[in-house]
A and B are shown apart, each in its own frame.
Chain A
Amino acid sequence: MSRSILITGANGGLGIGIATAFLEESPENHVWLGVRTNRSEADTLQAQHPERVRIIELNVTSPTSWALAIEVILATNQTIDVLVNNAGHHDDQLLAMMGDDAWQTVIDSNLTGTFNGCRAVARAMMGQRRGRIINIASLSALLSPPGQANYAAAKAGVIGLTQSFAKEVARAGVTVNAICPGYIDTPALSAMTPEQRQAATAKVPMRRLGKPEEVAAAVVFLATENAGYITGSVLKIDGGIF
């Protein structure tokens, strides 16, 4: 059965990993890569799978951008089957020194972006009586380190939103779940110094960083038919830290 899958923040390591996993899962999966400014990785993936990958302009903090994107997807594929709210960023600072901008933009991209996305697909998925929403939160939501008051708050908010929304759409055959990745080896982590990287790795009982495929596999599973009784749940993928 042909499925349309929208992944936001699709240009990052995790986004590309998730997109690749869906493409490999089935030849009937059509993937939409939601991107904003950066799109080089997305372009590369699209060139490799020209029939099944489309790039779509999407600013997750803008309701109109969402409405337009969903309209395009529905016009092209007739259904929107899976939404992966993966877009977000962090801007670390000790709270006492955190500026308004650092606070607000992190809340906007991570939490409000996820809210906007859920709202944009809700009616379509309920009308289909079928849908899968996977929200990428973070281990920070559960085990909040210093310097991430904004990010931890936003991601904890994503978990609350996930649990509440899941109950609202359950009867319509739509599941909504959250994933909390720990330290995953992506370009985003390259912002760390080698010492920070080593310190992070030392904290993990498995003594290694996670791979994007190891998060993507969980996303693909939650989107399957067999995962149909799992909703409002939080799955951490952290090598045992928490």
Chain B
Amino acid sequence: MDDLRQQIKDLMVNELMLQITAEEIGNETPIFSPEGLGLDSVDALQLVVALEKRFGLKLPDAETARNVLRSVDTIAAAVPAAA
């Protein structure tokens, strides 16, 4: 597993105080689906803030955020190459 995906998972576990380990988060696990991690809108906002602070990733509207935050893979794809 590459370093960026690991960083994203670690960030999620720490920022959102998840009760699971980074290893238990799959790259394609749906973050907000009940079948996946089942996070809620409060988690989503915290994740948006944390991703911007850590990676400079800007998610200007709800639509963009929804698409980018589907899984660790989609977040990794969206992180600016320069960050």
Contact = CB atoms under 8 A, between A and B. Distances in A.
Contacts of B45: 126, 168
B12 to A, nearest CB: 13
A127 interface: yes
Contacts, number: 19
B42 A126 contact: no
Interface residues of B, number: 11
In this complex, the interface size class of chain A, counting residues with CB under 8 Å from chain B, is under 10
A206 B40 CA distance: 47
* B interface majority secondary structure: helix
Contacts of B37: none
Nearest to B41: A168
A171 B16 contact: yes
Centre residue among A127, A167, A168 by max chain B CB count within 10 A: A127
Interface stretch (B20-28, B46-54, B65-73): B46-54
Contacts of B50: 127
A100 to B, nearest CB: 34
A168 B42 contact: yes
Contacts of B82: none
Contacts of A73: none
A97 to B, nearest CB: 43
Given A168-B42, A171-B42, A126 B49 contact: yes
Nearest to A125: B49
Interface string A187-200: 00000000000000
B17 interface: yes
Contacts of A49: none
Contacts of A172: 46, 49
A207 interface: no
Interface in A142-170: 167-168
Contacts of B49: 123, 126-127, 172
Interface of B: 15-17, 42-43, 45-46, 49-50, 52-53
8 contacts: A126-B46, A127-B50, A127-B52, A127-B53, A167-B42, A171-B17, A171-B42, A171-B43
Given A127-B49, A127-B53, A172-B49, 4 more contacts: A168-B42, A168-B45, A171-B17, A171-B42
